[in-house]
Amino acid sequence: MNKIIGISGLAGDGKDSLCNLLRTLFESNGFEFQRMALADDLKEECREALLSMYNINPLTCSRKEKSAIRDFLVFYAKVKREESKGTHWVNKLNKRIKALPKTELTRIICVPDIRYAEYEKDEAAWIKNNKGILIHVKKYQIEEHFTHKKFYSTPVNSEEAYHTPRLENLADFIIEWQDTSPTPPEDSHFSKASVVELFRLIVESIGETKKPSKAQRLQKNLEKLKKII
């Protein structure tokens, strides 16, 4: 059985970090876990053009290089979305999911780049129509001059500014974590603790705790994880 988890959030807020942390938790509890990003197909379609124009391979580029080609990727992705009324990229992802080998275990398919909630069959709608879970991640900083006042990340472009509030409103779970740069969220005690609780809620929502033996094993592993972090 496949269970889809989509992750939305602003660029740099930790979507991939959350995916990595969830992978550790799910795999340690007997699930299969597969990361399958919508952008994988986008980068593949744009690879030759970007190599020719910028000498940048979008499949292996650094974050700095990605910033240089972001506008091109956003433009191309938008054209394809508008041509297909939001279905171009999710249709490609569906084909990759169907090509996965069968498994007797529950397979978590994590899509860490849900960015649009506009068309009837757009990315957010695809998550919901497949009975998936949408998680929205937000990163913030604490301003020294304002006690406990959070300052959240800002959108990198107008596309993010328009769609991110919609995605947040549609999210089944919202996770916030403090910017710990240069320490990545994967290495932050606070981030790990937050994701352990999120993991517990996700597992409950997909019904995996209905079997007593599974529930007991999950609880035991959660207690171990809490001690580790």
What is the average per-residue pLDDT within 91-97?
95
Q: Chain-wide mean pLDDT for the chain?
A: 87
Residue type, 164: T
Write out pLDDT tens, residues 14-32: 999 999 999 999 999 999 9
Q: How wide is the angle at C-alpha 20 spanned by C-alphas 18 and 25, nearest 5°? A: 95
Superfamily of domain 2-38+105-228: P-loop containing nucleotide triphosphate hydrolases (3.40.50.300)
Write out pLDDT tens, residues 137-193: 999 888 766 667 888 989 988 889 999 999 999 999 999 988 888 888 888 887 888
The alpha helices in the chain, defined as continuous H runs, are 15-28, 38-54, 63-84, 88-98, 123-129, 158-170, 189-205, 212-228
Do 131 and 140 meet the contact criterion of CB atoms below 8 Å apart?
no
pTM of structure: 0.83
